[in-house]
């Protein structure tokens, strides 16, 4: 059997008093009297069988036992506060927090959000951007859109869409002094890379039958695909585009895909990711189904990836 825990009220008073090193400030923070703080501390010391505070020169000090105990108590209360905040957030039917990458948000998701808001005006969608995997236990995120193979243990994953990769550039580059009529002409142009996708040029060049050493030639490197695409629109070079993030720019003529016939399917795809235990919450169901409808033109059957 588990050993009984000391009084939760006593632990809360101890954490506050230890943080402030003052019974007076702890009483003010907890909206109780200083006498009540003293009583709770004395009772906690009796339950634990150790002394927690010392008074020296009219100053309050922690005993060694209290210094050892405080980090765990503080961490436990922090976890409780975060868990309570997450619970309250998820019980709200009017706010939906979605995490995705900055490129997909800017180029694909945000331009479509007006349709969801019009259909569901009672739900406020909040977008946060990140490339790391969300810790749903600690963060106030309802669902995420992530690129990968769909293997995120303990989470529900729904196939959203695949992406193709291919070179894109400004239309002005096609009419510039250097030809860009065949893939071989890339040897005369600046290639735009991203830190996350440096191998994409190597993969595409190989698919086009060109030496992948061209990927190592002079170029510019950015930490986000969005910046590389903007550089391409500004005529600084040729970037690797992906179907979800460049379709609008291609349609508007801000970018062109000079070699779209040589298209390399990416080895993974975008997935909707979230906890299993919240998957049936109505606001999450509505948004997940809406995402799938939006992605339907880019949604071949869910791929089966090896490994």
Measured between its terminal Cα atoms, the distance across the chain in Å is 43
**Per-domain residue ranges of the chain:** 8-91, 94-301
> Both tokens of residue 205?
């060049």
Q: How does residue 150 score in pLDDT terms, banded at 50, 70 and 90?
A: confident
What is the C-alpha to C-alpha distance for residues 177 and 175, in angstroms, rounded to an integer?
7
Distances in Å between the Cα of 38 and the Cα atoms of 13, 57, 205, 301 are 9, 18, 73, 66
Neighbours of 280 (CB within 10 A): 9
Better-predicted residue by pLDDT, 7 or 304: 7
Does residue 193 contact residue 202 with C-beta atoms inside 8 Å?
Answer: no
Model pLDDT, residue 305? 39
DSSP state of 269: E
| pLDDT digits 0-9 by tens, 249-261 | 999 999 999 998 8
Per DSSP, the three-state class of 71 is: helix
Indicate the CATH number of 8-91 among 3.40.50.300, 3.40.50.10420, 3.30.110.60, 1.10.10.10: 1.10.10.10
Distances in Å between the Cα of 301 and the Cα atoms of 161, 244, 272 are 9, 16, 15
What is the C-alpha to C-alpha distance for residues 134 and 91, in angstroms, rounded to an integer?
19
Smallest CA-to-CA distance from 147 within 165, 162, 128, 126 is with 162
Report pTM.
0.63
| pLDDT digits 0-9 by tens, 217-240 | 768 999 888 999 999 999 999 999
Indicate the CATH number of 94-301 among 3.40.190.10, 1.20.140.10, 3.40.50.300, 3.40.190.290: 3.40.190.290
């Amino acid at each position: 059997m588990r050993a009984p825990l000391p009084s939760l009220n006593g632990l809360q008073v101890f954490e506050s008093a230890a943080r402030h090193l003052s019974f007076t400030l702890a009483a003010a923070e907890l909206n109780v009297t200083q006498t009540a703080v003293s009583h709770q501390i004395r009772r906690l010391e009796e339950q634990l069988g150790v002394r927690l505070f010392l008074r020296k020169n009219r100053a309050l000090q922690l005993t060694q036992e209290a210094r050892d105990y405080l980090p765990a108590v503080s961490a436990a209360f922090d976890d409780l506060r975060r868990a309570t905040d997450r619970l309250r957030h998820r019980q709200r039917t009017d706010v939906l927090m979605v995490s995705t990458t900055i490129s997909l948000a800017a180029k694909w998701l945000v331009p479509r959000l007006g349709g969801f808001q019009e259909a569901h005006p009672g739900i406020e969608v909040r977008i946060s951007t990140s490339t790391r995997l969300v810790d749903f236990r600690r963060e106030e995120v309802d669902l995420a859109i992530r690129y990968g193979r769909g293997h995120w243990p303990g989470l529900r994953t729904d196939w959203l869409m695949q992406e193709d990769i291919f070179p894109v550039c400004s239309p002005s580059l096609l009419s510039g002094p250097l030809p860009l009529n065949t893939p071989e002409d890339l040897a005369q142009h600046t290639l735009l890379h991203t830190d996350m996708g440096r191998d994409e040029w190597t993969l595409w060049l190989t698919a086009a039958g060109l030496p992948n050493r061209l990927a190592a030639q002079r170029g510019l490197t950015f930490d986000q695909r969005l910046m590389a695409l903007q550089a391409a629109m500004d005529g600084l070079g040729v970037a690797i585009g992906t179907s979800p993030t460049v379709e609008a720019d291609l349609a508007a003529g801000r970018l062109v895909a000079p070699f779209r016939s040589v298209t390399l399917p990416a080895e993974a795809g975008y997935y909707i990711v979230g906890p299993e235990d919240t998957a049936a919450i109505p606001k999450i169901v509505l948004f997940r189904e809406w995402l799938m409808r939006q992605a339907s033109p880019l949604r071949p059957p869910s791929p089966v990836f090896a490994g």
